């Protein structure tokens, strides 16, 4: 059953509002891309404490996301509603795990993450289709983030990011 919650009802519930990327998920077009854009300031804030803090926060946000996204999906009656973008935010954080900050790394990381999140090569596509609930919503984006992180790390170590 598809339960229609208004934007106001989502905004009034802290859990749903977080799942909607603090409003980014309300975008009429490309909410996943807008959610990933929201991931940039989240990455900047969480990485400011240094690498260990960033890793711990990325792990905490990942685990919280299973609950946040799962509960919001249940309330909406849609497995992976396009407005749920917490998974994109955290997926972008995973993308940035293995490289030091630079705006070129942020840009390339953004492009790589969107590529893997949209194209969904195997095993991302398998997880997207076969793992349900909050875990399923989060896991495909975490894996897209990992693929992106590995490729971004290789690009960085090759000296292509300046």
pLDDT tens-digit readout, 102-115 = 999 999 999 999 99
* Residues counted in the chain: 162
Take residue 79 and report the two structure tokens written for it: 């497995």
State the chain's mean pLDDT as an integer. 96
Residue recorded with tokens 């990485």: 47
What's the first-to-final CA gap in the chain, in angstroms?
51
Distance CA 109, CA 132 (A): 27
Position 1 scores a pLDDT of 46
pTM: predicted TM-score of the whole model, two decimal places: 0.96
What's the CA gap between 95 and 89, in Å, rounded? Answer: 10
∠ Cα 90 114 136 (to 5°): 50
Helical ranges in the chain per DSSP H: 7-12, 14-19, 31-47, 51-76, 86-95, 103-119, 124-130, 133-157
Q: How far apart are CA 9 and CA 17, in angstroms?
A: 9
* Neighbour tally for 55: CB within 10 Å: 14
Residues 4-48 pLDDT 10s = 889 999 999 999 999 999 999 999 999 999 999 999 999 999 999
Q: How far is CA 30 from CA 45, 65, 108, 142, in A?
A: 24, 20, 19, 19
pLDDT of 55-75, one tens digit each? 999 999 999 999 999 999 999
Q: Copy the structure tokens of residue 28.
A: 């009429």
pLDDT of the residue at 74: 95
């Amino acid at each position: 059953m598809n339960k229609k919650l208004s934007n106001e009802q989502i905004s009034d519930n802290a859990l749903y509002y977080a799942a909607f990327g603090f409003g980014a998920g309300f975008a009429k077009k490309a909410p996943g891309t807008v959610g990933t854009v929201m991931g940039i300031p989240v990455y900047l804030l969480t990485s400011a404490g240094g690498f260990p803090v960033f890793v711990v926060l990325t792990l905490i946000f990942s685990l919280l996301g299973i609950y946040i996204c799962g509960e919001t999906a249940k309330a909406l009656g849609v497995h992976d509603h396009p407005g749920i973008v917490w998974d994109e935010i955290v997926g972008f954080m995973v993308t940035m795990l293995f490289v030091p900050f630079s705006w070129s790394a942020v840009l390339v990381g953004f492009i790589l993450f969107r590529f893997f999140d949209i194209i969904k090569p195997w095993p991302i596509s398998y997880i997207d289709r076969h793992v349900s609930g909050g875990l399923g919503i989060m896991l495909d984006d975490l894996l897209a983030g990992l693929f992106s992180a590995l490729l971004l790390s290789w690009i960085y170590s090759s000296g292509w990011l300046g």
